[in-house]
Amino acid sequence: MSRVCPWKTDFMKNTLFIAVVMLWFATAGLSYAADRPNVVLLLADDISQDDIGCYGHPTIQTPHIDALAASGMRFDNAYLTTSSCSPSRCSIITGRYPHNTGAPELHTELPSGSVLFPQLLKDAGYYTVLSGKHHMGKNANVAFSKISKGKGPGKEGDWVQILEKRPQDKPFFCWYASTDAHRDWAFSDEAPKYEPDDVVVPPYMVDAPKTREDLASYYHEVSRFDHYVGQVVAELKRQQVFDDTLVIVMADNGRPFPRCKTRLYDSGIKTPFVVHYPSEVTKGVTDSLISSIDIAATVLDLAGIEKDQRIQGVSFAPILKDTSARVRDVVFAEHNWHVYRNHERLVRFGDWLYIRNNFPDQPNLCVEAYLGGAGEDLWAAKAANELTEPQQNVFLNPCPAEELYHTGKDHDQLNNLATNPETQQVLEKARGLLTQWTEQTGDTIPANPTPDRDAPPGSPAKDRKAFKYGELPGAASGATDINHPGPIRLP
């Protein structure tokens, strides 16, 4: 009879035990990755939806974003809550409307104790990092394990390096925020340079040499942002974590040109929005409405983390599985002070877009309406009395108190139907929805609003040292303590 030595038996048992443990860890690791995705949010600065290749632009080269859209999902009706840099970012990170964040105007900062969805990820074990443009104030810093100012002309130069040096034992969240394509323009070798003949001039701008040169420079920065999107994707693939990573590509507001940035037309408020995550995303294109406040709820949903009750957005995870799914029937947006006094509100439902201007007694200006070549050409055409009707928009005084557009028939929102007798039923519905949202979310019109900080061209200069913020929207109702989301679904 053969006998097995005791030491061999122990060795075999130990070996089997180690193998089982290693298999358990490997299996647990695979399950962990699938259950808790890595997340990379790639946030461009001042890019309109129309200016990305996969959305149909004939000239601008964005092959990396286009590739993500081709193998992921493209959202055609993704709306921001405001078309202004810092308020938009503060709204995204909190999942709250600007007047509910306490930071609804340009350069205002989030209050201490704000809900921050990256902080909820961090508390759940994620490694969280912000690189590039911050613009939300020091009270947002608590949400991130690491904060970098970024590198290079678009602040994207260290994105790959951060991924290389990340902890390997944690899921990660990256808030990668470029300064492309914000003025002033900067050129580099990472993107093609465009010729003036390559550009498409929107009808509300003047088709003149300076405008074309201005747009060509903007195109370059859009393509540079795309270049770094490609660099990040390549690094995720190199680390073999691309399939386990939720990638979102978007912008904080529209292009920095007249009638775009700060405004509530699609050129200002409609963001490119591409999502890639193989295990959760069905390939395709969706026309379902989503809001930028929905990002927080969705990321938490996919990570299996309970949504904080202060988050007003809803998860659009069902859309990721089914392009025809709907999680909301209405979106809302606001235009508050951005160098110039303003208080506009928007509601979009179906094919209808309604804007209410609560300060119609002045031109609806922003600095992007007169900066750079496009602004110079526009103001020169005004001086020469050569403006077309669409080009007169930024000079209207008074402005329309109400605007109503059919987005399916009027891509650039040029034909205001608010006074058309045939649209009065739609107009009443829009008014009702906006009034309901105003009351439920605690929006208010300031009695002492923030005044214009700058004077438009041709007017006496203002003393910037004397500038002071006024009453903020929502302050009179204590909107920072209100969590009601307003209308989401229609009967």
Mean pLDDT for 336-341 is: 96
Mean pLDDT for 313-333 is: 98
pLDDT at 28: 38
Nearest one of 476, 467, 469, 468 to 446, comparing CA atoms = 476
- Between CA 166 and CA 144 the distance in angstroms is 13
Percent with pLDDT over 90 in the chain: 90
Average pLDDT over the chain reads 93
Mean pLDDT for 412-430 is: 98
Can you name the CATH fold of 344-458? Arylsulfatase, C-terminal domain (3.30.1120)
- Between CA 210 and CA 203 the distance in angstroms is 15
Mean pLDDT for 324-329 is: 98
Contact 65, 248 (CB under 8 A): no
Percent with pLDDT over 70 in the chain: 93
Nearest one of 328, 361, 296 to 140, comparing CA atoms = 296
- Does 87 sit behind a cis peptide bond, omega within 30 degrees of 0 on the bond before it? no
253-281 residue pLDDT tens: 999 999 999 999 999 999 999 999 999 99
Is the per-residue pLDDT at 35 higher than 80? no
Burial category of 471 from C-beta neighbours within 10 Å (exposed 0-12, middle 13-18, buried 19 and up): middle
Pairing of strands 245-251, 352-357: unpaired
Contact 332, 345 (CB under 8 A): yes
pLDDT at 457: 87
User: 463 pLDDT band (50/70/90 cuts)?
Assistant: very high
pLDDT at 176: 98
User: 342 pLDDT band (50/70/90 cuts)?
Assistant: very high
Mean pLDDT for 410-429 is: 98
pLDDT at 42: 98
Mean pLDDT for 387-403 is: 96
351-383 residue pLDDT tens: 999 999 999 998 999 899 899 999 999 999 999
CATH, range 36-329? 3.40.720.10
User: 81 pLDDT band (50/70/90 cuts)?
Assistant: very high
Q: Which of 79-93, 227-241, 267-281, 448-462 has the lowest mean pLDDT?
A: 448-462
Residue boundaries of the structural domains of the chain: 36-329, 344-458
- Between CA 362 and CA 353 the distance in angstroms is 22
- Between CA 181 and CA 376 the distance in angstroms is 19
pLDDT at 458: 86
- Between CA 106 and CA 242 the distance in angstroms is 35
pTM for the model stands at 0.93
159-212 residue pLDDT tens: 999 999 999 999 999 999 999 999 999 999 999 999 999 999 999 999 999 999
Question: What are the backbone dihedrals phi and psi of residue 396, each rounded to the nearest 5 degrees, phi first?
Answer: -60, 130
Vertex 118: Cα angle to 113 and 122 (nearest 5): 95
SS3 for the chain is CCCCCHHHHHHHHHHHHHHHHHHHHHHHHHHHHHHCCEEEEEEECCCCHHHCHHHCCCCCCCHHHHHHHHHCEEECCEECCCCCHHHHHHHHHHCCCHHHHCCCCCCCCCCCCCCCHHHHHHHCCCEEEEEECCCCCHHHHHHCCEEECCCCCCCCCCHHHHHHCCCCCCCEEEEEECCCCCCCCCCCCCCCCCCHHHCCCCCCCCCCHHHHHHHHHHHHHHHHHHHHHHHHHHHHHHCCCHHHEEEEEEECCCCCCCCCCCCCCHHHHECCCEEECCCCCCCEEECCCEECCHHHHHHHHHHCCCCCCCCCCCCCHHHHHCCCCCCCCEEEEEECCECECCCEEEEEECCEEEEEECCCCCCCCCHHHCCHHHHHHHHHHHHCCCCCCHHHHHHCCCCCCEEEEECCCCCCCCCCCCCCHHHHHHHHHHHHHHHHHHHHHCCCCCCCCCCCCCCCCCCCCCCHHHCCCCCCCCHHHCHHHCCCCCCCCCC
Q: Which two tokens stand for residue 459?
A: 């007017």
User: 249 pLDDT band (50/70/90 cuts)?
Assistant: very high
Is the per-residue pLDDT at 83 higher than 80? yes
How remote is the C-alpha of 179 from its chain's centroid?
Answer: 13
